[in-house]
Amino acid sequence: MNRIFVFIIAHALLLSSLKADTFTHKPTSNTFDGYATQIKKLDKTLVRIGYSGRYYDLSEFDIEYNARGRRNEVHLIPINTRFYLNSQAVEFRNQLELSLNRGPLAIIIPVSSSGGDPQICLELIDLIAAAENTPVYIWINREYQQGALEEAAFVALCSDNIYMQSGSIISGIKPEQESEQNSSITQGGYQPIKDILTLIFKNRQFPGVFLEGLFNPDTRIIKTTINGKNEYKSFVSEDIPSAFLFAETIKPEGEAFLLTSSQAMEAGLIDGVSADRGGFFDAIGIPDSAEIKTFDVVSEIERAFTNAEKRVNSKLRECRFLAEQIGEGRKQLEIISAEYRQAKLRRTRGSFYRSAGGNIYYPRGSSYPSGWEHYKYVRDRRENAIRNLMRQTDSLIAAMDEILSIWLRYPELNGDIETARQRIMQYQQLYDQLNYME
């Protein structure tokens, strides 16, 4: 529940007058233009005034948002892919904080994602709720997934300023999603999200039946018109009272709740609908001269994760190949080393002996190689075998080091980190032994 109370406090801050640019000091009536950042020291907030900054107690000021002291920029931080990596939440937080502290005219979060992990959803909700001093807008568009689906929809609905592109949708949990993740409404990962949305729906007087429909695929929602006012009712069975048999069905039973932009606007869930981004910018007062900067950190992390996963698979194949080569090389080195020891003992000029391989060598002066020449031949073979093994072992250690670094960066890959460390130590010991042999 602590998370929910933190959200409520942050939500109240969002609705306060802190999102502003002209500061009027109450005791002296002195004014200046600037913008408040997220940076705090004790009870004071860092306010940027041009290129300088100073900490102020904002309670001592009347603050008016008029964009005079801000950069003529708009920062876009899209949520346009599934979020299931902790690093996505980390990078989103870092970029959001950077944008808040740079003083843009507005921060816009375009949402066109099919959701992701409920825990990451909670993280994103907290991050957006904690944004102070700069207006943050949600723009639900249809760029990728036709709108905000599942967890992405919950992130969007927890925001203050929500706009939708015409034709986009808001979608609740799918029936198969509920059963696959085994997280019911009363237990599991979705309950904290539902608790937050329950408070928001109550405070904003949104239809409560919509909330049940978003989380419970088994709910049927209908719309009736009484005295010219729309009313929404929900049922969890096929037994609908006869008075509502001909009412409009907003959500069929057993299906995900799909809200169109017009339905969401009619129900009061969003603040506006625009045909395109230009119309949305006009609606929220973004001037044509503003510079638009996009920071696509969420999908960049997913791309980096996908590339890292491919890299790990490639390096694992390389490791398996090198390990096989090293195993065969060690067997060959044992045979050559045994022959080398025999040749070393019998390298006296003029001796007759049978080598470990069964070959008979004759003394110098005959038409056959002497024991000394054979010794040099075996010695060179052994040295080449050792150097080749050292190169392969060094390559294997480098590949395993790279795999380990990726596993440490992306815990979601579920890499066996301890085993990797042990294998690296084993092959490092082998490398040291080979180096000593040489």
**In a domain? residue 29:** no
Could you tell me if 240 and 376 lie in one domain? no
Q: Are residues 308 and 290 in the same domain?
A: no
Flag whether 35 is in a domain: no
* 395 plus 270 within the same structural domain: no
| Rg of the chain, C-alpha, whole Å | 34
Q: State pLDDT tens for residues 420-438.
A: 999 999 999 999 999 888 5
Same domain, residue pair 224 and 335: no
Query: Are 70 and 156 contained in the same domain?
Result: yes
**Residues above pLDDT 90, as percent of the chain:** 36
Of 295, 312, 334, the domain-final residue? 295
Q: From the CB of residue 394, how many other CB atoms can be counted at a distance below 10 Å?
A: 15
Helix H or strand E segment including 62? strand 61-64
What angle (nearest 5°) sits at the alpha carbon of residue 54, between those of residues 52 and 58?
135
Contacts 24+ apart (CB under 8 A), 410-413: 410/85, 410/87, 410/305, 410/308, 410/309, 411/86, 412/84, 412/85, 412/86, 412/305, 413/308, 413/309, 413/312
Give me the mean pLDDT over the 180-199 stretch.
67
Answer yes or no: do 347 and 235 share one domain.
no
Q: Could you tell me if residue 208 is inside a domain?
A: yes
- pLDDT for 137 equals 95
Task: Give the CATH number of the domain where residue 264 resides.
Answer: 3.90.226.10
**In terms of pLDDT, which residue wins out, 224 or 183?**
224
pLDDT of residue 14: 39
The 10s digit of each residue's pLDDT in 233-267 is: 878 766 667 667 667 788 888 888 888 899 889 88
Residues 412 and 315 reside in one and the same domain: yes
Domain check: are 311 and 247 in the same one?
Answer: no
* Torsion angle, alpha carbons of 95, 97, 102, 106, to 10: 80
pLDDT at 13 over 60: no
Residue 12 predicted with pLDDT over 90: no
On whether the CB atoms of residues 49 and 36 are closer than 8 A, the answer is no
For residue 31, is it within any domain? no
Please identify, among 295, 317, 340, the residue that sits at the C-terminal boundary of a domain: 295
Range of the domain at 265: 2-19+65-295
- pLDDT at 179 (0 to 100): 45
SS3 call for 401: helix
pLDDT at site 347: 61
Tokens of 96: 């959001």
pLDDT of residue 371: 64
pLDDT of 236 reads 74
Asked if residue 234 and residue 190 are part of one domain, the reply reads yes
Q: What's the pLDDT band for 319 if we cut at 50, 70, 90?
A: very high
Report if residue 328 sits inside a domain. Answer: yes
On whether both 326 and 265 belong to a single domain, the answer is no
pLDDT for res 6: 44
Q: Does a structural domain hold residue 334?
A: yes
pLDDT digits (tens, 9 = 90+) for 83-122: 888 888 889 999 999 999 998 999 999 999 888 888 889 8
Domain match, 218 and 334 both: no
Beta bridge partners of 147: 169
Task: For 129-171, write each residue's pLDDT tens digit.
Answer: 888 888 899 999 987 668 888 899 999 998 889 999 999 999 9
Q: Span 342-365, mean pLDDT? A: 55
> Where is the domain boundary, 295, 315, 340?
295
pLDDT band at 394 (very low <50, low <70, confident <90, very high): very high
Report the pLDDT averaged over residues 319-338. Answer: 93
Enumerate long-range contacts of 425-432, CB under 8 Å, 24 or more apart: 427/326, 427/393, 427/396, 427/397, 427/400, 428/397, 430/326, 430/393, 431/390, 431/393, 431/394, 431/397
Per-residue pLDDT band at 210 (split at 50, 70, 90): confident
Could you tell me if 220 and 341 lie in one domain?
no
Q: What is the pLDDT of residues 19-62, one digit of tens each?
A: 458 899 999 999 999 888 889 998 899 999 888 889 999 999 99
Number of domains into which the chain is organized: 2
E-strand spans in 157-228? 161-165, 169-171, 220-226
